[in-house]
Amino acid sequence: MSANLIPILWDATLQTLYMVAISAILGTVGGLPLGVFLATSQRGELLSTPWVNKVLGLVVNATRSVPFIILVVAIIPFTRAVVGTSIGTDAAIVPLTVAAIPFIARLVENAIREVDQGLIEAARAMGATPLQIIRKVLIPEALPGITLGLTLAVVSLIGYSAMVGAVGGQGLGDLGIRYGYQRFMPEVMAAVVVILIVLVQLVQSLGEWIAARVDRRAPRNRGA
């Protein structure tokens, strides 16, 4: 591989990291409360609002059933309204975030639903408000599961970010297609794939490490 490709790969890697990081953060900001709400708003639950729950559930499912590449193109007017352009890494963040929110919401919902109902009952018996139960019981108890869910979401976003080349989103996937495929430079394709594998590995390991740190459900070896 010629030396002048290194800066190109480096730039593409930074672009991918930028898109994934921002969309993961925005996706969490939107997806975490949405997931908590979905997990607590069915009939008889803490924030019992069955109709809102049903409608939001439908919206989440609808968003998740659209293939990502179609979502990217379909919401171009929205993207342009938000960032002023439909081309470039900033523009790519919009569809990535739109896809991340419902995905993260479902992962958070699942993690929250894993929390033992007995803990909710204990907290209610203490006189806790629904908001206190969410903040002090549900989220802390679900944190190991939420962390693993977010890890899965970030890994998925790395994959999605490769598709936003279609709207000039740049990044590693775009580089692989334009150099590796269209210009017949297999060594670029290989380098892109290797970098993606390393990124995914790092994210997965980091996520599992954090999840283990916050998980107190099994005894720890003391004094080790």
Partner 1 sequence: MTGAAITFEGLGKSFPKAGGQVMALADITLSVPQGSITGIIGRSGAGKSTLLRMVNGLERPTTGKVSVAGRDVGTATGSGLRAIRRDVGMIFQHFNLLASRSVRGNIALPLEVAGTPRGQIRARVDQLIDQVGLGALADRYPAELSGGQKQRVGIARALATGPKVLLSDEATSALDPETTQTVLDLLAQINRDLGLTVLLITHEMAVLRDIASHMAVIEAGRIVEAGPTYDVFARPAHATTRSFLSGVTGATLPAFVAARLQADPPGDQVIRVTFAGTHATDPMLARLATDLGISANILGGTIEEIGTRPFGNLLISVPHDRGDQARAS
Return phi, psi of residue 42, to 5°: -70, 170
Q: Is 80 exposed, middle or buried (0-12, 13-18, 19+ CB in 10 A)?
A: middle
Determine the Cα–Cα distance for residues 24 and 99; give it in Å rounded to an integer.
10
Determine the Cα–Cα distance for residues 191 and 176; give it in Å rounded to an integer.
8
Out of 44, 77, 118, 223, point to the residue binding partner 1 (CB under 8 A).
118
Q: Does 129 bind partner 1 (CB under 8 A)?
A: yes
Distance in Å, CB of 48 to partner 1, minimum? 14
Q: Which is nearer to partner 1, 132 or 201 (CB)?
A: 132
Determine the Cα–Cα distance for residues 30 and 101; give it in Å rounded to an integer.
6
Sole window of 32-40, 126-134, 155-163, 194-202 interacting with partner 1 (rule: CB under 8 A) = 126-134
Helix, strand, or coil here: 98? helix
Out of 61, 85, 132, 205, point to the residue binding partner 1 (CB under 8 A).
132
Q: Does 116 bind partner 1 (CB under 8 A)?
A: yes
Distance in Å, CB of 120 to partner 1, minimum? 9
Out of 7, 84, 127, 223, point to the residue binding partner 1 (CB under 8 A).
127
Q: Which is nearer to partner 1, 35 or 145 (CB)?
A: 145
Q: Extract the tokens encoding 187.
A: 């060594």
Distance in Å, CB of 122 to partner 1, minimum? 4
Out of 21, 55, 119, 190, point to the residue binding partner 1 (CB under 8 A).
119
Distance in Å, CB of 208 to partner 1, minimum? 18
Out of 52, 58, 73, 126, point to the residue binding partner 1 (CB under 8 A).
126
CA max distance for the chain: 68
Q: Extract the tokens encoding 22.
A: 């921002």
Q: Residues binding partner 1: what is the number (CB under 8 A)?
A: 25
Determine the Cα–Cα distance for residues 43 and 46; give it in Å rounded to an integer.
9
Q: Which is nearer to partner 1, 88 or 140 (CB)?
A: 140
Q: Extract the tokens encoding 134.
A: 């969410």
Q: Is 56 exposed, middle or buried (0-12, 13-18, 19+ CB in 10 A)?
A: middle
Q: Does 12 bind partner 1 (CB under 8 A)?
A: no
Residue 150's Cβ-side half-sphere holds a number of Cα atoms within 13 Å equal to 25
Q: Name which of residues 183 to 222 contact partner 1 (CB under 8 A).
A: 214, 216-220, 222
Site residues, partner 1 (CB under 8 A): 116, 118-119, 121-129, 132, 136-137, 140-141, 143, 214, 216-220, 222
